[in-house]
Structure 1
């Protein structure tokens, strides 16, 4: 923005000096001596800009010089001394509505006082920056003068000198702005080389996303990021309310786990009884014989009941062990009886199952 700024000086009568040292008047004005500006329609200081300038000047770490005939600026090219005529104290700038940019804390040195009392100097001449439309943007310094001596400097050198002095006087502003840009780059995950324009574009995207997701237009109608955060909290509350748990539909975890354990135990008991019945039946129809074989199947049933079940169902039955071995005839003419067959196999089965 500095490249688009121009520098100028304008003289005001010292006889109007009071406890409020008027540096730049409010409103639209031109030079009463030569009719400048020639490169803008006029000069203008608005109250809004005046308050901004006063706030910026009060952030200065050093007092602003009042010199003779703008010697401070000319010394940059001539190398000649630039003694002070007085000082505008830092933190003493203010903007008075209807008057302009003023200083309420200023000091004249003895030599300058003598010149002013002898009317050897009659005017003060502020040096300020302005845009091509005439809007005043910054105060550089002030000089005692009888003519707008600054015109003796070529315009290009004047602008360069004024901008250099301005940047030297306000280092804190540039530093603060760079720190702000650095924080924004970090927050937006932008590279260190991101320009102010790129940061602004990314902020615009973020504002659009916030509005789409929360309905809050950031910085519009006094709404800020805090309003957006509050909207997010409300959305969370609404979501939690819609997903509220009905206690009647659920049981405590301990109760559920106990029920699952009981169901598992019952299923295991039923499975065990089923296998035991199958083993008994297999022993009875001849599919299983011998203590070792029966014991092996019972051990397997403890860990793999489905395997035992499949094996038992696949074993062939032995007919000799399932049919009657002998018949007894009642010699007295009674009905024939078949005595139960009790052999070593049956005795083994009875022993295995405790019969």
Structure 2
């Protein structure tokens, strides 16, 4: 039990609850105090509908009835060892939260001796034992007692802590199970007030979805973890199957990229070579050193060479034949090769 969790007994007039034929009010909704003015270590006690429903859900998970004892003898007996006879019983699975009223028991039983005490007025108050925090918010209901005076605070602090610790030890399994159930209800998308049938239906629906999604079968003796492992295995196997119509081996892809690159480079190289030949023919490029420089630049920066050559001016005189001898007697002589043709041929290595 942590320092932030406090335990106390408060008292309510039993006759007010006894007038209700259908239920016994155990903890009222809203802000309240004990008949003696407590709590003294919190501004008040507070039970909200949300917290009340949580407490009721936890109480209805118990497999045993809750005792109504005399003067909180059950808690005291953890220290004193004295008997703790029952005055009555609150039946399990019959706790209810009624809006505007609070935590109630819809099925309770007073034993004959307690009935006599109540009818004769020897016991007047119903006293629930509560866990609450320093803000006064109710956290849990431990049990209920018949009492006439608030008696729990008469226990020394150490004994009170020991009694509460003993209660926690006895109910630890129930508390853990309640936390687990709350988690499962949340994961299943259910409210904490869901019935057992609703929980089973939601769980079976989840198992069916797992089977349908991954082709697994959650048998009665198979754990959920095993089903999830099988689903992961099926999914991994499905992902490992490659559609050959959609994918090619990486070696084929790389080869195709390489060949495409070579084709582009080859086309670019031929284009530049043709451009240089044309430029030599029309006089834009002259001189072996100049032509050699452009050819060298074309190896690494063909676009630069292309742009440069296209900007060069053409020399008209070098684009025309300057001499051609004709035999007026009717016999044609071979055409002479002028100096310009020779220069171009020499520069092109022809």
TM-score (norm 1): 0.49
- Could you state the TM-score of these two structures normalised by the residue count of structure 2? 0.50
